[in-house]
Amino acid sequence: MSMDDDIFYSYPRREKRIKDKDLYETVEEVFDTRTVMTIYNLMRRKIIKRMAGVISSGKEARVYLAYGPKNIPLAVKIYLTSTAMFKKGILKYIVGDPRFEGFKPRNTRALIYAWTRKEFRNLKRLYEAGVKVPKPITFLNNVLVMEFMGENGKRYPLLAEVYNELDKESLAEILDKILVELSKIVCKAKLVHSDLSEFNVMVTPDLDIVIIDVGQAVLLDHPNSMEFLIRDIKNLIRFFRDEVGIDAPSPDKVLEEIKSCLTKTRED
């Protein structure tokens, strides 16, 4: 039985029609057949019940709101399989990662599938280390399914989107919270985020934070991990000092604290 037949037979007709409509209205124009089949597959496995609206559409990935069993909201991140730019940009985060040793992608699609798997693994590792990230649910090919971070179908805003509306005191608390997560990322999960910025931190209504977008995170063993860590710290401090205008600790001080937590965890 082909995949088509399988899908066709696993749903009663009416239900299938509804699912078709949900799926095509939301994803049809942007995705190739294989991606649509991947989403079908996740529906057949009852991970996704229906796709809802688009949350974000970037150059390399689209994020959708979807619903799982019991109408649990999900975030479904779908990587576009046709960007050559992407290919050049991401190789440096894969080469040097022992988890991808000997990996030679045959084509862009294979590279993007590996990237999706890497993002899932990073997310899982961070989640298990107690870092505030969306809970990973599953991945298949170029599709990553995770916990939806938001309320009533509306995602939480990014730090970049809300800092203007917050007072300095709250922003100082947010910086402290980010620094706590940064230590956990490095010292507990043994990863470097490598794209930590105001665009990859969400802020909840009670001013808690969520770290997102972890595909490019690398293991501390990666030959460039320290360079990426220093870049993350510099970006973060530059944002808080120059854009937000608060008295943030120097990048050197932050790095020193993280290094001390690293030596401590090594001694444990």
Ligand X SMILES: Nc1ncnc2c1ncn2[C@@H]1O[C@H](COP(=O)(O)OP(=O)(O)OP(=O)(O)O)[C@@H](O)[C@H]1O
User: Active-site positions?
Assistant: 195, 213
105 binding partner (options ligand X, Mg ion, none; Cβ < 5 to 8 Å by kind): none
Which ranges in the chain belong to alpha helices (H)?
3-10, 13-27, 33-44, 84-94, 108-128, 159-162, 168-183, 225-238, 251-267
CA distance 72 to 194: 30
In the three-class reduction of DSSP (H, G, I as helix; E, B as strand; rest coil), residue 202 is classed as: strand
94 near ligand X (CB under 6 A): no
Count, residues in the chain? 268
**What is the C-alpha to C-alpha distance for residues 254 and 179, in angstroms, rounded to an integer?**
8
- Tell the smallest beta-carbon distance from residue 135 to ligand X (Å): 9
Find the binding residues for ligand X in span 4-33 (CB under 6 A).
none
Cα distance between residue 254 and residue 40, in whole Å:
45
d(CA 195, CA 234): 11
- Where does residue 153 fall: left (phi above 0), alpha (psi -120 to 50 degrees), or beta otherwise? left
| Rounded Cα–Cα distance for residues 226 and 248 (Å) | 21
Cα-Cα-Cα-Cα dihedral of 28, 30, 34, 36, to 10°? -30
Among 52, 150, 230, 243, binds ligand X (CB under 6 A): 150
Binding residues for Mg ion restricted to 106-125, rule: CB under 5 A: none
Distance separating alpha carbons of residues 66 and 211, to the nearest angstrom? 20
Candidate residues 181, 198, 213, 232; the one interacting with Mg ion per rule CB under 5 A: 213
Work out what residue 134 binds among ligand X, Mg ion, none; the CB cut-off runs from 5 to 8 Å by kind: ligand X
191-210: contacts with Mg ion (CB under 5 A): 200
Q: Contact with ligand X (CB under 6 A): which of 212, 218, 236, 237?
A: 212
DSSP state of 169: H
Nearest approach in angstroms of CB 202 to ligand X is 7
Task: Choose among ligand X, Mg ion, none what residue 61 binds, the Cβ cut-off being 5 to 8 Å by kind.
Answer: ligand X
Among 158, 174, 209, 217, binds ligand X (CB under 6 A): 158
For 2-147, list the strands marked E by DSSP.
50-57, 61-67, 73-79, 136-140, 143-147
Q: Is 144 in the site for ligand X (CB under 6 A)?
A: no
Task: Return the number of the residue (129 or 262) whose C-beta is nearest ligand X.
Answer: 129
Residue 56 or 250 with smaller CB distance to ligand X: 56
Give yes or no for residue 143 binding ligand X (CB under 6 A): no
For residues 102-141, which are near ligand X according to CB under 6 A? 134
Q: By CB under 6 A, name the binding residues for ligand X.
A: 55-56, 58-61, 63, 75, 77, 134, 146-150, 155, 158, 200, 212-213
Q: By CB under 5 A, name the binding residues for Mg ion.
A: 200, 213
